Amino acid sequence: MKEKECPKCHNSQIEKGMIRSGNAVVQMFSYNNARSLSSPISSYYCSNCGYVLGLYVENPGNIEK
């Protein structure tokens, strides 16, 4: 991740987190094949104001093109 500072509050405490829905981690699937392999989606957020800086697919190679 390139960002070292929150663009909203300028705090330098950027943390990595996982997005969950109910009891499961949110997964990314291929748009063309929803039954293919998937990968968890993680995010980076500011621990001061909660601003989400970005969402990232953990293992993009798992997802079929």
Residue extents of the structural domains in the chain: 14-60
pLDDT tens across 3-62, in order?
789 999 999 999 999 888 888 888 888 888 888 888 999 999 999 999 999 999 999 888
Write down the pTM of the prediction.
Answer: 0.74
**Is residue 56 classed as helix, strand or coil in its secondary structure?**
strand
Return the CA Rg of the chain: 14
